[in-house]
Amino acid sequence: MCTLVALHAVHPAAPLVVAANRDEFHARASVPPAVLHEVPRVVAGRDAEKGGTWLGACSSGLFVGLTNQREWAAKPRDALRSRGEVTLAALRRGSVEGVHALLDDLDTASLAGFNLLYGDGRSLHVAYARPGAAVERRALPPGIHVLTNDRMGSPHFPKAARAETLARRALAATCEAPVDALLHRLEELLADRELPPLEDVPEPPRGARVDRVLARRLQALCIDTPVYGTVSATMLALEPGAVRAHRFADGAPGQAAFEDVTPLHRRAPMLVGH
C-alpha cells in the first residue's frame, strides 16, 4: 500500500519534489539508502529478501519509485521475479529515455502487477505494468500527482485524495519559501494517520484477505497495524542534473527521524551492491 506524492514543476525552488511512504510487512527486512550502482551513481534502499529496491535516485537527478498493484487474493510468488528488480534496473539506465526503453522491452509475464513513477526535473511519467500485457506509460503535466496501489485517480484509494489535499496545503504555505520548508510540511503529510469514513472505503470482494474494517486502516497515509504498516519514508528534491535533497526515515514518519543521505550522491563510498 505504498504512496508516492510528486510535485512536478509547481515549486519555484525545485522542479520535482517527491514524498513517499513504503508500506510493508514488519517482518520483511530492508537496508537504508546506500550506493547500489556507481555509473550512474544510484542511491536507494534495498530489499534484504530479494535484493531490489522500491525507490531511489540517480545523482544525475533521475528518480524512480514503484508501488505494487493491489491484489485481493493471495497468490504464489515463487515463480515470479521481484518487482524491485525493475526499479533498480530503471535507475541503472540513468535517464528518462533509458527507463522508457526498459519498460518498452519488459517481459511482464514473469512479474506481478506494478505501477512506476519516474522523472528527472524536466518531465514526470507514470507506467502501469500488468502480467502478460505491454506496459502502459504516459507523461504527466505540471501539478501534484499521487500514486498508490492502482492507477492514478482510482476511486478505490481515498488516501490519494487526502494526500493531494495535504500536498496542496503544503505547497500554498511554502510557495515563496526555500524548498526545505516544503519538505518539512510534506514530512507531516507522510506522518498523517487520519482514516476516511468507513462508507468511503469500497467493500472488498468475496474471498479477499482483508475485511472492510482492515481495508479502512490501510487507507491511512501512515499505516499502523500489528503485522503490516509504514516501515520507512523518503523525501527528494530534484532538478535536471542534480539531487538537491535526499532524506530517509528508517521507520514510520512521525516516529523515526528523517536523516540526510544527500551526501551519498556526492561522495565515493564503498559500493555495496550490483
In the chain, the domains with their CATH numbers are 3-265 (3.60.60.10)
Q: In terms of DSSP bridges, do strands 30-37 and 3-11 run parallel, antiparallel, or are they unpaired?
A: unpaired
pLDDT score, position 269: 46
What's the rounded mean pLDDT across residues 143-165?
A: 96
Instruction: Please return the burial class of 232, using the count of CB atoms within 10 Å of its CB with bins 0-12, 13-18 and 19+.
Output: buried
Q: Which three cell numbers stand for residue 110?
A: 514473469
pLDDT score, position 266: 87
What's the rounded mean pLDDT across residues 62-91?
A: 85
Q: In the chain, pLDDT over 90 holds for what percent of residues?
A: 88
pLDDT score, position 79: 59
What's the rounded mean pLDDT across residues 100-124?
A: 96
Rounded to the nearest integer, the mean pLDDT of the chain is 93
Using CA atoms in the order 218, 221, 224, 227, what is the torsion angle rounded to 10 degrees?
Answer: 50
User: Which of 261, 274, 249, 270 has the alpha carbon at shortest distance from 43?
Assistant: 261
Residues 35/264, Cβ–Cβ less than 8 Å: yes
60's CB contacts (< 8 A; 6+ apart) are 40, 41, 94, 95, 120, 241, 242
What is the DSSP secondary structure assignment for residue 198, as one 8-state letter?
Answer: G
Is the pLDDT at 20 greater than 50, yes or no?
A: yes
